[in-house]
């Protein structure tokens, strides 16, 4: 049962156990709410039979006090078993999803955008919080307690019991069969919400471009349309659920009418006592209130199918396998007939073969779209190659755990990611536990001192979201400082000096030159000046290796590399 609950509601094992406890607490609470009805029936029976004996009066008083206390304690149990357990499970669920995302290959993130994943971790988890704390325990608790009360009603009088309960299976069936319709409305509503989230995020990220091109009004008009569509779909989703819940609730209320009708006929026949009839009216009136809420809870439970489905997509996505302790003989990176295509079918690399030797700088050059960045990311196993083999120190990287593999890499991307923290802590990300002195040494190597000293609090300055307080070149230098601090045996640089001026580029190249000793360096660059000191060039064009060799050799051949150098030299002489 635990495994079924885990699968059905995307819960952890402890969460499934807590759900059973929460359901039990709701059952007990619902049954305690029937105690006042039982006491009222007994008291009225005594009153109509000649009055309440003094010795039984205290029993009723004690019963009322006990009933109030039991209701209080049962309500306290319900609160703890639902809300407190929900907070714990919500934390576990979000951490589990985050941990799974951390282990997924980049191919998964290529299919998802940021707002989609954020919605899953935040909004979808919040929906399940409400489901776990309100809808699921209350629904099943009501169903179980109703079954227990129904058995008692059949014991007293099966005719009135049938008159009271015939509406229950019909009402539940109406809501239960609404699953396909509700899933349809919920999916459309979710798509509209994601479109709005994407639009808002895109607007905030591109606000400078929108303003500089006077395109704000046009963009906001499109965003308004997305918001209007979301509003319409949310209303349609509410109406879609109401089309089933409201009729089911109306049918449920017919039970009171049938109890009154059947009870009146039995009273007229003299086969039913007035007190029994009165008791059934009391019980039914008390019974249908939680059942009405249960129908709404059932509809809400059905609406959680889409959020659960989205979470399962993450949880069930296959991770990249590999051993935790790779055995490598040095750190040469070898591409052996490597081919790769993205999910859209675009072939990026075709039978690419080259070797980046340890202790040398291997530069990937060539026209844009040739596959340089893809090759570097394949080397770090951000994706797995479709064909061929990539080895590190003679070991196939597809057999190595991705996290363990990345411990051997220092990577500087063209698009730098920084965190809303101090300069010191942003650099320290390169190696957890590094001392302040080690961080400062790496920062000086990466030529960060020049601009950090001008900041209000130096290395303790908060730099804003993604380093918004810094320039592009300053952000890139911090990223290079991270790589220097990590001091890994393999260094991957993707346009690492693209945002630097000529003077700082020279200084950074010197720092990298000191870092290169006995290490494998794979660098991507478009400026020929940047790769002039490389030991080996690999020129990728249209996903294939067009040329490879030492810079001087390729220059003498007069091929593509020589033409690229000539073009850049002519562009350097261009004047306005």
Q: pLDDT band for position 435 (50/70/90)? A: very high
Looking at residue 494, its pLDDT comes to 80
Distance, in Å, from the CA atom of 15 to the CA atom of 71, rounded to the nearest integer, reads: 25
Distance, in Å, from the CA atom of 363 to the CA atom of 383, rounded to the nearest integer, reads: 20
User: For the chain, first and last CA: distance in Å?
Assistant: 76
Distance, in Å, from the CA atom of 497 to the CA atom of 504, rounded to the nearest integer, reads: 9
Looking at residue 124, its pLDDT comes to 81
Distance, in Å, from the CA atom of 297 to the CA atom of 141, rounded to the nearest integer, reads: 11
Q: Which of 215-219, 297-301, 380-384, 492-496 has the lowest mean pLDDT?
A: 492-496
Same fold across 330-408+518-576 and 411-487: yes
Contact 531, 565 (CB under 8 A): no
* Residues in CB range of 516: below 8 A, 6 or more apart: 359, 360, 361, 491
Looking at residue 425, its pLDDT comes to 92
Contact 386, 360 (CB under 8 A): no
Q: Which CATH class is domain 411-487?
A: alpha beta
Residue 513's nearest CA partner among 480, 473, 472, 466 is 480
Q: pLDDT band for position 353 (50/70/90)? A: very high
Separation in Å, CA 121 to CA 117, 310, 320 = 6, 10, 22
Q: Which CATH class is domain 2-315?
A: mainly alpha
Looking at residue 49, its pLDDT comes to 63
- Of residues 295 and 226, which shows the higher confidence score? 226
Is the domain defined by 330-408+518-576 classed in CATH 3.40.630.40? no
How many helices (H) and strands (E) would you count in the chain? Answer: 25, 10
Looking at residue 573, its pLDDT comes to 56
Looking at residue 55, its pLDDT comes to 67
The domain ranges of the chain are: 2-315, 330-408+518-576, 411-487
Looking at residue 180, its pLDDT comes to 83
Does position 450 have pLDDT exceeding 60, yes or no?
Answer: yes
Segment 547-553 mean pLDDT = 86
Q: pLDDT band for position 572 (50/70/90)? A: low
Q: What is the mean pLDDT of the chain?
A: 82
């Amino acid at each position: 049962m635990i495994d079924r609950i885990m699968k059905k509601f995307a819960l952890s094992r402890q969460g499934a156990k807590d759900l059973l406890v929460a359901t039990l607490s709701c059952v007990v609470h619902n049954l305690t709410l029937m105690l006042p009805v039982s006491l009222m029936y007994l008291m009225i029976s005594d009153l109509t039979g000649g009055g309440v004996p003094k010795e039984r009066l205290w029993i009723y008083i004690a019963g009322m006090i006990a009933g109030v206390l039991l209701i209080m304690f049962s309500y306290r149990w319900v609160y703890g078993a639902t809300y407190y357990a929900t907070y714990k499970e919500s934390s576990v669920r979000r951490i589990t999803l985050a941990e799974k995302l951390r282990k997924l290959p980049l191919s998964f993130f290529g299919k998802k955008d940021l707002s989609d994943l954020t919605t899953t971790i935040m909004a979808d988890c919040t929906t399940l919080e409400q489901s776990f704390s309100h809808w699921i325990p209350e629904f099943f608790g009501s169903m179980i307690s109703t079954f227990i009360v129904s058995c008692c009603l059949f014991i007293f009088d099966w005719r009135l019991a049938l008159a009271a309960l015939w509406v229950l299976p019909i009402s539940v069936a109406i809501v239960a069969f609404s699953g396909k319709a509700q899933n349809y409305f919920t999916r459309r509503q979710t798509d509209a919400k994601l479109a709005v989230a994407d639009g808002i995020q895109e607007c905030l990220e591109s606000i400078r471009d929108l303003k500089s091109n006077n395109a704000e009004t046009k963009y906001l008009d499109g965003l308004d349309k997305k918001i209007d569509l979301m509003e319409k779909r949310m209303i349609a989703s509410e109406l879609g659920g109401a089309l089933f819940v409201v009729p089911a609730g109306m049918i449920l209320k017919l039970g009171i009418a049938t109890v009154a009708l059947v009870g009146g006929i039995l009273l007229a026949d003299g086969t039913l006592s007035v007190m029994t009839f009165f008791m059934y009216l009391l019980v039914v009136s008390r019974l249908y209130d939680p059942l009405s809420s249960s129908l709404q809870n059932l509809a809400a439970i059905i609406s959680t199918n889409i959020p659960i489905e989205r979470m399962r997509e993450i949880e069930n996505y296959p991770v990249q396998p590999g051993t935790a302790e790779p055995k490598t003989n040095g750190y040469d990176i070898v591409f052996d007939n490597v081919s790769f295509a993205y999910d859209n079918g675009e072939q990026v690399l075709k039978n690419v073969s080259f070797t980046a030797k340890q202790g040398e700088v291997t530069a990937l050059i060539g026209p844009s779209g040739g596959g340089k960045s893809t090759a570097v990311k394949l080397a770090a196993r951000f994706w797995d190659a479709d064909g061929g083999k990539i080895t590190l120190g003679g070991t196939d990287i597809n057999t190595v755990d991705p996290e363990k593999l990345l411990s051997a890499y220092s990577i500087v991307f063209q698009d730098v990611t920084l965190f809303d923290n101090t300069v010191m802590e942003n650099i320290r990300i390169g190696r957890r536990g590094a001392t302040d002195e080690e961080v400062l040494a790496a920062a000086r190597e990466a030529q960060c001192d020049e601009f950090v000293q001008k900041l209000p609090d130096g290395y303790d300055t908060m730099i804003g979201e993604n380093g918004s307080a810094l320039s592009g070149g300053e952000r890139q230098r911090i990223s290079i400082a991270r790589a220097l601090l990590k001091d890994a045996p393999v260094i991957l640089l993707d346009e690492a000096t693209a945002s630097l001026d000529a003077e700082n580029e020279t200084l950074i190249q010197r720092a990298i030159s000191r870092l290169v000793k006995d290490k494998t360096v794979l660098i991507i660059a478009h400026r020929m000046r940047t790769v002039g000191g490389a030991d080996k060039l690999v020129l990728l064009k249209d996903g294939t290796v067009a040329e490879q060799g030492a810079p001087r050799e390729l220059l003498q051949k007069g091929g593509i590399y020589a033409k690229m150098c000539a073009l850049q030299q002519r562009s350097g002489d261009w004047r306005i």
